[in-house]
């Protein structure tokens, strides 16, 4: 895929007033989680470095941060910390200044935020969960923060099922009245979208040197002590990429231009196929599928809404739908895969049938016809 750093550096600010505020705001990205829900893809690669629409997912977020007008980025890392620095370096290739703060033991989301404090340059920081794909105008969140004279501002949105998220009710002025992390009986469908603006003094008041959850400890405490905590609500594109189903959908939305990324402008289509990959005549690749370097898709195969990593082989007549197939894996002829994850170098034999959240661990070989959900062959 013909991407270059220029795709990042050319991104123009979308909101001039917001961009002026962004120029005086540090960006802090939390990327220290283990990405357990994406195993085995995250056995060796941290979640934000998994390729979505052909680029490490984090690169799309950095593109948006840059486009909004922020320059200085601090990554709060822990699990596989070295992978980030190796790829992004000091950020200069991307037109950014990137620093890394490594937690030897994960400090939790709040502890990670506190831990970066002596790398901050401004009186205000915008914090990002590193696994969110979004189209929100980041400058507009900063404008809300300033106009409300807030201590902390949270980006919020409404979703059909809020139970897997932080539920955040607000009053008529937009002031946050509660923060309820992952509750079975949420009082509203308004949730924490995973980006916050913190004034530096509030960030520095988070307890240091021990694990702290921003969701379960810091926000409730700020509300109890009467701090000015506001919500910025919008309905721009938003997706947490933390599960295989969301990862596949998010990548596909990027390819098709449903999810915005400044890095992909003018490149949208039904599929993104690397120039070194080969797709046979009569194979169908669609639904925002990505096909990585050197991958081969044989005749009669159908690959829909999937992420196919480098060097994967999909044999003749196989069907792959809403799947992630990791590097070097092989999918046998007429195998049928829906909603599953196949680990690096694994082999799914001919005529196998895998579905509904199946995960094949790296290197595992399932023999031809070795796994079916029905008796008809
Ligand atoms: N540095 C560091 N250290 N980062 C961490 C740590 C840590 O100990 N723990 C988690 N993170 C990072 C993860 O890498 C991820 O980018 C982000 O913090 C959020 O963690 P997730 O594990 O993805 O949380 P979640 O998706 O279950 O819930 C969070 O995000 C939702 C929105 O997507 C919460 O903030 C919810 O309130 C929110 O609704
Ligand atoms: Mg998440």
Domain ranges of the chain: 16-262, 270-366
Distance 365 CA to ligand 2 centre (A): 31
Instruction: Considering the domain delimited by 270-366, tell me its CATH architecture.
Output: 3 Solenoid (2.160)
pTM to 2 decimal places: 0.94
**Using CA atoms, how far apart are residues 214 and 41, in angstroms rounded to an integer?**
27
Q: Closest ligand 1 atom, CA of 106?
A: 8
What does the pLDDT read at residue 377?
Answer: 56
Give, for ligand 1, the residue of 29, 30, 38 to mutate: max count of ligand atoms closer than 8 Å to Cβ: 30
**What DSSP string runs through 216-264?**
IIIHHHHHHTT--EEEEE--S-EEE--SHHHHHHHHHHHHHTSS--GGG
Indicate the fold that domain 16-262 takes in CATH. Answer: Spore Coat Polysaccharide Biosynthesis Protein SpsA; Chain A (3.90.550)
How many A from CA of 373 to the centre of ligand 1?
35
Q: Relative to the CA of 242, which ligand 1 atom is closest?
A: 23
Residue nearest to atom 19 of ligand 1 (CA): 129
Low-confidence ranges of the chain (pLDDT < 70): 1-14, 376-377
Nearest CA to ligand 1 atom 28: 165
Q: Write down the pLDDT at residue 376.
A: 67
Residue 211 backbone class (left: φ over 0; alpha: ψ -120 to 50; beta: rest): beta
Alpha-carbon torsion angle 106, 89, 18, 234, nearest 10: -50
Enter the tokens of residue 68.
């909004």
CB 240 near ligand 1, within 6 Å: yes
* pLDDT reported for residue 14: 61
Report which protein residue has its CA nearest ligand 1's atom 21. 33
Which of 27, 32, 189 to mutate to test ligand 1, by most ligand atoms within 8 A of the CB atom? 32
Q: Cβ contacts of residue 245 below 8 Å, gap of 6+?
A: 322, 339
């Amino acid at each position: 895929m013909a991407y270059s750093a220029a795709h990042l550096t050319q991104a123009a600010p979308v909101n001039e007033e917001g961009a002026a505020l962004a120029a005086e705001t540090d960006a802090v990205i939390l990327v220290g989680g283990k990405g357990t829900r994406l195993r085995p893809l995250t056995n060796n690669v941290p979640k934000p470095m998994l390729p979505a629409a052909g680029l490490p997912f984090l690169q799309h977020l950095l593109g948006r941060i840059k486009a909004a007008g922020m320059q200085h980025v601090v990554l709060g890392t822990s699990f596989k910390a070295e992978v980030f620095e190796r790829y992004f370096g000091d950020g200069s290739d991307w037109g950014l200044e990137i620093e890394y703060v490594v937690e030897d033991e994960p400090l939790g989301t709040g502890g990670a935020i506190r831990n970066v404090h002596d790398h901050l340059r401004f009186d205000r920081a915008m914090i990002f969960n590193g696994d969110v794909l979004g189209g929100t105008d980041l400058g507009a969140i900063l404008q809300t923060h300033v106009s409300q004279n807030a201590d902390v501002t949270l980006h919020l949105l409404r979703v059909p099922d809020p139970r897997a998220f932080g539920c955040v009710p607000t009053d008529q002025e937009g002031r946050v009245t509660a923060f309820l992390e992952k509750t079975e009986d949420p009082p509203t469908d308004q949730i924490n979208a995973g980006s916050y603006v913190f004034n530096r003094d509030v960030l520095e008041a988070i307890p240091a040197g021990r694990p702290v959850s921003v969701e379960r400890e810091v926000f409730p405490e700020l509300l109890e002590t009467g701090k000015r905590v506001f919500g910025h609500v919008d309905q721009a594109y938003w997706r947490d990429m933390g599960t295989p189903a969301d990862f596949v959908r998010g990548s596909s939305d990027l390819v098709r231009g449903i999810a915005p990324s400044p890095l992909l402008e003018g490149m949208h289509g039904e599929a993104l196929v690397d120039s070194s990959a080969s797709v046979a005549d009569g194979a169908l690749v669609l639904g925002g599928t990505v096909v990585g370097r050197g991958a081969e898709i044989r005749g009669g195969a159908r690959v829909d809404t999937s992420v196919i990593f480098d060097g994967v082989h999909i044999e003749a007549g196989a069907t792959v739908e809403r799947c992630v197939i990791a590097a070097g894996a092989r999918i046998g002829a007429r195998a049928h895969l829906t909603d599953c994850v196949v680990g690096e170098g694994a082999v799914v034999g001919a005529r196998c049938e895998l579905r509904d959240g199946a995960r094949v661990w790296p290197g595992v070989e399932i023999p031809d016809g070795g796994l079916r959900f029905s008796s008809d062959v």
